């Protein structure tokens, strides 16, 4: 039924649970997986705060890329262990839902599988639900793992 599953990750335990579920589903269907992580655009944040320091920006971006590599490696390892073809993508976007949707379209995925929620407390209220936004704007099926 599904041939190409997009699995976003934010590195959380819930995200890792969704990854394991998505990889099992991909194996069952003989599908391939694309993992995606969105890094915030720190350049805009630093410029907005009024303190533009190229050294700080480079350090922040390097740390964010390093975290992203770790998050995406979790997907790659889960796929390797299950014998599922996998590739990963790291996008820069202040709106993770938008990066997820654009990656799904660019990679021609036929399912997006993600976890039900990520951030907690005030951050969740202020930032809104990325899962809800993916559900609202996606043109392809979305499966939510709780």
* pLDDT tens-place string over residues 87-121: 999 999 989 999 999 999 999 999 999 998 655 55
77 pLDDT more than 70: yes
DSSP letter string, 40-79: --HHHHHHHHT---HHHHHHHHHHHHHHHHHHHHHHHHHH
Q: Which domains does the chain have, with CATH numbers?
A: 4-145 (3.40.50.620)
* pLDDT tens-place string over residues 7-41: 999 999 999 999 999 999 999 999 999 999 999 87
50 pLDDT more than 60: no
């Amino acid at each position: 039924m599904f041939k190409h599953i997009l699995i976003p990750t934010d590195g959380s335990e819930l995200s890792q649970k969704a990854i394991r579920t998505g990889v099992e589903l991909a194996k069952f269907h003989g599908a391939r997986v694309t993992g995606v992580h969105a890094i915030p655009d720190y350049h805009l944040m630093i410029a907005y705060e009024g303190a533009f320091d190229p050294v700080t920006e480079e350090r922040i971006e390097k740390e964010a890329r390093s975290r992203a590599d770790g998050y995406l490696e979790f997907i790659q390892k889960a796929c390797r262990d299950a014998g599922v073809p996998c590739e990963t993508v790291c996008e820069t976007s202040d709106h993770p839902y938008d990066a997820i949707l654009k990656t799904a379209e660019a990679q021609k995925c036929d399912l997006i599988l993600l976890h039900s929620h990520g951030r907690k407390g005030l951050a969740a209220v202020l930032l809104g639900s990325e899962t809800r936004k993916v559900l609202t704007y996606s043109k392809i099926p979305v499966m939510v793992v709780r």
